[in-house]
Structure formats: C-alpha cells, structure tokens
Amino acid sequence: MAAPGTTGDEGGRQPGPTENIDSILTEERRFEPPASFSAGAHVKSLAEYQALRDAAERDPVAFWAGLARDELHWHRPFTSAFDDSRAPYYAWFGDGLLNVSFNCLDRHLAKNADKTAILFEGEPGDTRRISYAELHRRVCRFANALKMRGIGLGDRVIIYMPMVPEAVVAMLACARIGAIHSVVFGGFSSGSLRNRIEDASARTVITADGGHRGGKVIELKAACDTALSEGCKSVETVFVLRRAGNHVRMQHGRDLWWDEAESNLADECEPVWVDGEHPLFLLYTSGSTGKPKGIQHASAGYLVVVAATMKWVFDIRDSDIFWCTADIGWVTGHSYVAYGPLACGATVLMYEGAPTVPDAGRFWSICARHHVTIFYTAPTAIRALMKLGESFPARYDLSSLRLLGTVGEPINPEAWMWFHRVIGHERCPIVDTWWQTETGAIMIAPLPGAITTKPGSCTRPLPGIDADIVDANGHSIADFAQGGELVIRKPWPSMLRAVWGDDRRYRDTYWGKFDGRCYIAGDTAHRDHDGYFWILGRSDDVLKVSGHRLGTMEIESALVAHPRVAEAAVVGKPDETKGESIFAFVVPRGARPTGDAAGTLSAELRAWVAQQIGPIAKPDHIRYADSLPKTRSGKIMRRLLRDIARGEAITQDTSTLENEEIVRQLQGEP
C-alpha cells in the first residue's frame, strides 16, 4: 500500500549505474513534506529553500556573515568575515570575539533559565533534568576547577567519559576558558587513549570511575591509568567523576574527584572571549593511511553552521525534545548532542547506554516516556532494531515524534521504509544527513518542510554548500548514470581548520587532489535527474563499521604488532546490520595454523585488537595465508582481497602472482 505523501510507483528498481558499487538501486518512491509540517517549519517550501541557496550563491561570504550575526552573540563583532589569503588555510570571522559556552548558556538565561537543557536517562534507569540555569552553574564551577589546576587558553584537555551530562559540562567548561577539548570515545582502549593524549600533548584528562553500557560497567579510570602508566608525560591532572561506583585507584597529587575539586568554588566564571578562529576542539578520526588525525575546528564558524542546521534540517522549536543517539565521542555527539541544541536553547535528551538494555524496546520506551519529538540515529541502529521485529516499537506510544533523522552511512531503502512506517507512522519526514567529522555540521540533507525525500538519498546540499561530483580530472560529472568523487567547491565556516600538528597532511588529504580547487570528502556519489545526491560509500580505505569510522591501516598496524603476525591486510565486507564487517587476511609468523589452532589464534588476535584499539575494531573474520597477493610494485592487491572476502568470483588478472596457490589459501581452502 502506498503511504500518504507517496507519489510515483512503488518499486521500479533496476541495477545500478556505477561500476564500482554493487547494488545501487534506482529508487522511485518519493515522499513529499506533509503540508502540516511545512506550514510550521523554518523553511516552508522549495521556493524558500531555493531563495536561500540563491542568496548564498550570489554572495557566499555575505550570506554566512549574515547568519553569523543572527545566530551568535558577539562580544566584539567581526569586521572580516572571510580570509582566503592563506588558502587552503581559510579563516572565518577571525577578528570577532565570542565565547562558545556563553552562546550555549548565558544568553538563554534571561528567558529560559528554568527550561530543561539536558534530560538524562542512565542505562540503569536513573533520570535527571538539568535546567539552563543549573547547567550554567555547573559549567562555571567546573571551569573554575580547571583553572585551579592551571588550565587556560589553548591548553588541551582530554575528555574520556560515559554519556552523562557531565561530559557536556566538561566540554563547555573548556570552551568557557578557551581550553581545547578532545573527546575520546569511551569505547576506545587505553592504547587509543594514550595515542590521542600524546598527539595532543594534553595537560589534563577528565574521566569517570566507570560508565554503564550493555549491562556492564566500563572501567574508564582503569583504562586511563593504563594509558598514563605507559607514557603521557604531559598530563598533570586527572579529574574523576563518580558515576558507576566501581572501585578505582587514585594517584595522590594527580587524580582528583570531580565533586571534591569543585566544592567551595564559585558558581560564576567570567567567559574568556576568544577570536572566531580560536580552536574549539580536536576530534581524532581515521584516515586511509597512518595514525588517526586530530581534526581541528574553530569556534565561531563551527557554531554558526551547527546552529543554522538545527533550524534548517531539524526545524528545531522551543517545545521540542531533541534526541540524537550518538555518543559524545563522535562528531555527531559534538554537533547535535552538545553544541547545536544548546546554541539554540533547545532541550536535548542524553541516554547513557545500549539500545537493547533491558530489551530491544529501550529506544522506543525512552521516546514515549520523555515525549521525544525529534529522533536522530544511525542506519546501523535502525537495521539492528528492525531485525528484532515490530513488536517492540508497537508497545510504545510514539505519537510525540514529528521528525526522524539518520547519519553515518548510507541508509538502504528497506531500513528507510521501516523507519518511516514503524517508527514515524508514515507521518514524520526523514532527514538523511550527509556530513563528516571534517565538515563539522550537516552538508547535504533535506529541509523537512521543503524537500521531497527519496529513500536512500540525502537529497540536496544545504544553502551555502557548493557540493559537486567530479571525475578523475576534477570536472563536474554531468552524466547522471555515472558516479564520481564527492567534493565541496567553496570553503564554508564549519570546515576543519587543520590536522593537529600536521599542516601538510591537512593540505594533501583534503585539498591536494585537484590543485587545491576543492575540498575532497573521500566519498563517492552520484546524482539523479532531480539533482539529488546518492552517497555510494568511501573512496579510500576507511571502513564504516556500525557507523563508526575505522581506518584499515589502524587495524592492520594493531594486528602486525602481535608477535604471531608477520603481515596483515584488512578489507570491509558488506554486512546487513553493521554496514561493513571487518575481514582480516593474516600472514602468521611460523607455520600457518589450520583447524583448532587457527580458531585459537583468531580468538587471541580479536582480543588483541580490542585491547589495542577497542572492541569496535575487532575483525569479524580472519583468514591465514603464507603470503599476501601483491602487485609487481609490491602493493597489496586490495581489490582482489575484497572480492575474496565477499566470496565473489575473481575478476583480476592473478597471473602476476608469484604463488597462485595463495589465492586458494585466502579463499579458505585447507
């Protein structure tokens, strides 16, 4: 049965247009914005969207400058909106003065002091409501605690915490005093934590005794102790929040309990006014080669676009209860749990734990009990919950929902339709939002009151975002049937400013390919006749596992660090739920294990990778061979390995291989 708002026919799928992607389908279903939604929306029609886009195209700098004046409180207005004299090291609003925590807190106090800023639910079921006034007090107190330990302008602070409100307090406290935070996902191991502390030369770590996740206590302080015992000489202070009540060791002089550190400190803390370009945070993310990069964002430009996208894409209103399920350790948690909602004075819901505790109804139970109106999650979560059946969502009243969103990877039309029908009751528009750690904020997504959606497409670029799809020479691809590289042709305010400590890597990775003419996203995409974008996947060796970005190189390095591993190559294998699963080909030191010995070694290697990087990076499949297939120039033949991992017929010429027998070993033959 066609859903209301559907036009076009119900399927009409044909095999896809691009040769490098297996299963792109031509999707003909269309969903127009419900009239009732459009009527109350910030952007009400295609014409209004087009007018915004036209204005931005006529004069991009004036367009963004206008938004920066409207959306933010400036202590001293900027006179220079944009500086491209050092391209591609662009600057926005560089001579204005502002404070991000002031913009997220103080300016709401006159009208909204008692409004709930954060509505929290812990995995064990505890709940808290924190008003804007209280959040302001808590941020000021903790900022004072940081200052007491000598932290100030430009110092790096690592935040390694569970999904509790104090994680946001810590971020805003850093912003208040001009310190630069770098949040490390609580699921990362001590090794990953150590690398990030060392790369950022952080002076302080903010952590918790533990957090609740999947019915277990994740021992964050213990992991932190391990990291610090192996290096991290720059760290002088560790703040420890009491959360899970698990036993921890406190090192005298270095470790402080959060509550004790801030007792007796003032509830007020003067914001430090910083210039628009002052770094707000670093966030480490995987690239195709080498170690994770510290993606550096600037204060003003970042905040302008996250605030604007809250209105354009999420159509945020004063009465909304906004829930983004992302962890604070990923960019989505930064932009749409912390900074975006708070910059808009919205109420944001934070949930600490796993979606399946105590059962697969947890998300829907939270939506129903807290009257969530906007729900933003990842395709992998939708697919996982979809598999567990419709009876869970059916138990809960989801009528408060008015808008749904997805992020992190392409959403397959089936999952989109399930989300639309079972969660949105065919009433809520879905915004499929394409963006990246590097872009800071959403770049391509439907404006829900203005743009007709198609399942699986992130639709059209936002106003001011000059996205394009290009061929190997950087020329725009006019042919709708052909895929290419996704690029952004003009700088935008929330773009990354640097890779921490590595200017060259910034320039080469993001601007190197087409003579600095455009930003290279590292994704492939194609466009349909309506100008809609369809993201096909990564063009580099980055995997998207359960929506998390992992470099194959990082996993390979971890494997090779094991004494039994001589060489390793990791590729992604499509996975129904996780998007991609991790497939590792390993050349062991000594004899190639078979049978039980192979099983034992595989278990050991999986545990090893979990310990080195974190459980999300554990290979799902491991296969052993006496060597890896390489080209004559010594490059691993990754395409061949991908075909093997997928169990597909091998199309490459393997005659150049020194030992063709290897292919059979890699295919799993004894």
**Residues 465 to 524 in contact with ligand WTA, rule: CB under 6 A:** 521-523
Which of 535, 571, 582, 625 is close enough to bind ligand WTA by CB under 6 A? Answer: 535
Which of 5, 287, 393, 410 is close enough to bind ligand WTA by CB under 6 A? Answer: 410
407 binds ligand WTA (CB under 6 A): yes
9 Cβ contact list (under 8 Å, min separation 6): 28, 29
Number of residues that bind ligand WTA (CB under 6 A): 22
Nearer to ligand WTA, 256 or 545 (CB): 545
Which of 538, 562, 573, 623 is close enough to bind ligand WTA by CB under 6 A? Answer: 538
412 binds ligand WTA (CB under 6 A): no
Do 181 and 204 touch, CB atoms closer than 8 A? Answer: no
Binding mask 262-301 for ligand WTA (x = CB under 6 A): -----------------------x----------------
437 binds ligand WTA (CB under 6 A): yes
CA–CA separation, 139 and 131 (whole Å): 12
CA–CA separation, 152 and 289 (whole Å): 33
Q: How far is the CB of 473 from ligand WTA (least distance, A)?
A: 22
CA–CA separation, 556 and 589 (whole Å): 15
Q: Identity (one letter) of the amino acid at 520?
A: I
Contacting range for ligand WTA; rule: CB under 6 A; set: 34-42, 109-117, 158-166, 403-411: 403-411
Helix/strand/coil for 421: helix
Closest CA to 276 of 506, 82, 107, 482: 82
Q: 340: which 2 tokens?
A: 């975006």
Nearer to ligand WTA, 213 or 549 (CB): 549
DSSP 8-state class, residue 19: T
DSSP lists the bridge partners of residue 130 as 118
DSSP string, 593-610: P-HHHHHHHHHHHHHHHH
552 binds ligand WTA (CB under 6 A): no
CA–CA separation, 408 and 576 (whole Å): 15
330 binds ligand WTA (CB under 6 A): yes
435 binds ligand WTA (CB under 6 A): yes
Q: Element (H or E) spanning 118, and its range?
A: strand 116-121
Q: How far is the CB of 558 from ligand WTA (least distance, A)?
A: 19
Closest CA to 167 of 29, 320, 333: 333
Rg (CA), the chain: 25
Binding mask 55-94 for ligand WTA (x = CB under 6 A): ----------------------------------------
CA atoms within 13 A on the CB side of 358: 2
Contacting range for ligand WTA; rule: CB under 6 A; set: 125-133, 308-316, 431-439, 557-565: 431-439
Nearer to ligand WTA, 578 or 606 (CB): 578
Which of 549, 562, 606, 623 is close enough to bind ligand WTA by CB under 6 A? Answer: 549
Helix/strand/coil for 525: strand
Contacting range for ligand WTA; rule: CB under 6 A; set: 227-235, 391-399, 408-416, 656-664: 408-416
Q: Element (H or E) spanning 322, and its range?
A: strand 321-324
Do 575 and 601 touch, CB atoms closer than 8 A? Answer: no
Q: How far is the CB of 380 from ligand WTA (least distance, A)?
A: 11
DSSP lists the bridge partners of residue 158 as 182, 205
Contacting range for ligand WTA; rule: CB under 6 A; set: 254-262, 402-410, 578-586, 591-599: 402-410
Nearer to ligand WTA, 96 or 537 (CB): 537
Do 523 and 468 touch, CB atoms closer than 8 A? Answer: no
Nearer to ligand WTA, 202 or 458 (CB): 458
434 binds ligand WTA (CB under 6 A): yes
Region for residue 260 given its phi and psi (left: phi exceeds 0; alpha: psi -120 to 50; beta: otherwise): alpha
Nearer to ligand WTA, 144 or 494 (CB): 494
Task: Give the binding site for ligand WTA (CB under 6 A).
Answer: 285, 330-332, 407-410, 432-437, 458, 521-523, 535, 538, 544, 549
